[in-house]
A and B are shown apart, each in its own frame.
Chain A
Amino acid sequence: MSTHVQTRARHRIGLAPLALLALLLYAAFLIYPLVQSFITSLTNRNVLNATNAFIGFANFAELVHDERFLRSLGFTLVVVLFVTVVSNIFGLLFAMLLNGPARHYKIMRTLVFIPQVLSGVIVAFIWRSILTENGLLNSVLQGTGLTQQPISWLGTPALATLSICVVVSWMTIAFTTVVYTAALQSVPAELHEAARMDGAGPLNRFCNVTLPMIAPGTTISVTLTLITTLKLFDVIAVLTGGGPANSTKSVAFYLIDVAFTSNRFGYASAIAMVLLALTAVLAYGVTYLLRRREAHL
């Protein structure tokens, strides 16, 4: 056996334990809970007692008619759509504004990134102090005479939904800005220069040079924003508690309620499975479409 072949064989064997460990961890912490959750979703398991009978797909059938689940699903999709669109548009905008080599741009980028560093709970507490009856926003509006009465930003279903959309967008814009900044920095300056020499204006250069070049960044940013928002829980828990009248309960929030308030673990697992499937389908679908777009650009 040649030295070269021996080295390759040793190299392969050397990596095998690491790969095995990774597989074991993946199986223990992802595959096993997933399978366990699916099995639980086929039962009427109660969180507190020994009830654990197999009931087939009855939990999934019930979900189809569960008005609260459907409402939470509708609310979640509204937030996902709003946040994904808004945070990506503003993320790209901020990234373009901050995409400079100068020192103060680095400071600005850091400032923009701060919401991403803060936990959702802290962000929600900050915004709650802004949006409550006596909060900063109402004080400004009333102080400037724009409104006479305080506006119930968190107390009417439509405004509470909008408030959550804005707060979550504010958080995620930080992430999308960083992704787009990284993507923009990979665009060769020569391309812009060549386009400029060809007489292309700023809009033309943005559409025909920048957007195609940052397409992979767009795919990553849109997909991850979508996945993050689909499992939204912490901001809602602090900001509205799912209210008013359950109007801002996300699917994840409803899942926790069903499991630990109504004690229905089996049903909660069915919700978790649907959320997982929905996330997978949407993430795959969006990625597929954006990858096709990348190929076209």
Chain B
Amino acid sequence: MTATVLALTTALGLSACSQGGAGSLTFMVFETPALDAKFWDTSIATAAKEVSGAAIKKIVSPDADRTKYAKQLQASGQFPDILASISPKDFAGAKLLKPFDQKWLDDNFLQPTANAIGGETYIPPTNSQIIPLVFYNKKIFADNGISVPTTWAAFTAAITKLRAAGITPLELAGSETWAASMPLVGLASADVLGKDPAWIQKLYKGEAKLSDPIFANAMQKAVDLVKMGAYSPAALSVDFKTANSNFLAGKSAMYPMGSWFTGSSYVSAAQADNIGVFPWPTDDGSVVIPFNVGGTTSVSAASKNVDAAQKFAQAWSLAPANLKVLIETDGAFPMMKKLGIKDFGATVNGLYNSSYSYVTDSNTKVSSFGWVNNDDALAPGINDSFYALAQSVFSDSDVKKQLTKLDADWAAATKK
């Protein structure tokens, strides 16, 4: 008798859960000094109001590699309903993500197809970044009579001059592979994609190789930078936080880094006044901007309440308060159709405005190599191999050999 009552109660309870309200949804987030727990809690509470009956349970990624953590959750049968800032290509290929409605994307974003993978969008294209720009110390440049370089030759001449003056020319957070890769990202984006924007697609089709001269010559420049003493001898022992403080303290003259560095989490308005910015230089001086359209929320296709999860994701993505925080603290450039930069009421510094001009200006924008969320995203595992290359150029100058290995990694990852 008791067992029958218990079974009926359970069945009724489950029935009620499936019929009414959004129920409980899990949202995997990540925390940084800019996007702290308070930011996520507030933004979740705001977006949850748009989804009746939704209880959002926050899951915090243990480190910055939220894509890896999402895979761990998937492997253990705990894939979240909503995920913040993952690399969607792997998951989309396995049909684990629910694409956003194209009309909603068209209605709300300046570049509604910027994050498209196979014609579908899994991350709303809410904001953008330039990865990398080269930030420079205005005072050091002025003291050493250096003008802002616009060509590769001028850039290397500035490096040589700074090294001769006993100043570390380029800051590098070399102990963190993603940060160590900044010069290589700049070189691959400007020298390879600047000349052939479809090059990554050719790589996927097997029509190009990483060891081809166009890519190898670009990577050779990374070796040349090491050889000319562009970095501190201990650059690979420097973490991101230390690199930021080194550059801001004037211990180095230039710092290739993503445009997030313009945010108030990284520089104060006063510090920003002494910092200038220029795009990664090309041989002929043409302006190539390594562009990444970002966004935050992806939705699991396997969510028990996929409609509610997507409604929450859309509400989160359109909330101006969320983007305001991203603009101020993380230097995000808004890509909203109905909201201009002034509509957010964000307080930004002069460095942010200088950097933002490269988004609004007419120039050659290409995918930021290894950073984008669209069809140009690299095959699984290749980002890590590419990041490792950024460190290995310090001890192994045989670019051809290293790129042949990278070709093998690419072939294994794409089964070619």
Contact = CB atoms under 8 A, between A and B. Distances in A.
Q: Do A and B interact?
A: yes
Q: Report, as a range, how many residues of chain B touch the other chain.
A: 35 or more
B130 to A, nearest CB: 25
A244 B174 contact: yes
Contacts of B381: 257, 261-263
A77 interface: no
B3 to A, nearest CB: 25
Interface string A208-243: 000000000000000000000000000000001101
Interface string A105-141: 0000000000000000000000010011111001000
A67 B413 contact: no
Contacts of B407: none
Contacts of A157: 395
B75 interface: yes
B269 interface: no
A261 B176 CA distance: 16
A244 B391 contact: yes
A245 B75 contact: no
Nearest to A258: B381
A170 interface: no
Contact of B389 (A150, A245, A257): A245
A241 B175 contact: yes
A243 B395 contact: no
B239 interface: yes
Interface in A27-64: 46-49
Contacts of B389: 245
The prevalent SS among residues of B at the interface is: helix
B246 to A, nearest CB: 8
B234 A150 contact: yes
B224 interface: no
A155 B234 contact: yes
Contacts of B71: 47-48, 259-260, 263
A261 B68 contact: yes
A133 B68 contact: no
B176 to A, nearest CB: 7
B355 interface: no
B175 A243 contact: yes
A238 to B, nearest CB: 10
A149 interface: yes
Contacts of A85: none
A134 B242 contact: yes
Contact of B175 (A155, A262, A263): A155
Given A132-B242, A133-B242, A155-B394, A243 B236 contact: yes
A151 B90 contact: no
B235 interface: yes
B391 A47 contact: no
Contact of B94 (A49, A150, A151, A156): A49
Given A150-B237, A153-B234, 7 more contacts: A138-B234, A150-B233, A243-B177, A259-B71, A261-B381, A262-B380, A263-B380
In the A-B complex, the 6 residue pairs with the smallest Cβ-Cβ separation, listed nearest first, are: A155-B236, A245-B392, A262-B381, A49-B94, A48-B94, A152-B234
20 contacts: A48-B94, A131-B237, A132-B175, A134-B246, A135-B237, A150-B237, A151-B234, A152-B236, A154-B236, A156-B236, A240-B175, A244-B174, A244-B236, A244-B392, A245-B396, A259-B75, A263-B71, A263-B90, A263-B380, A265-B75
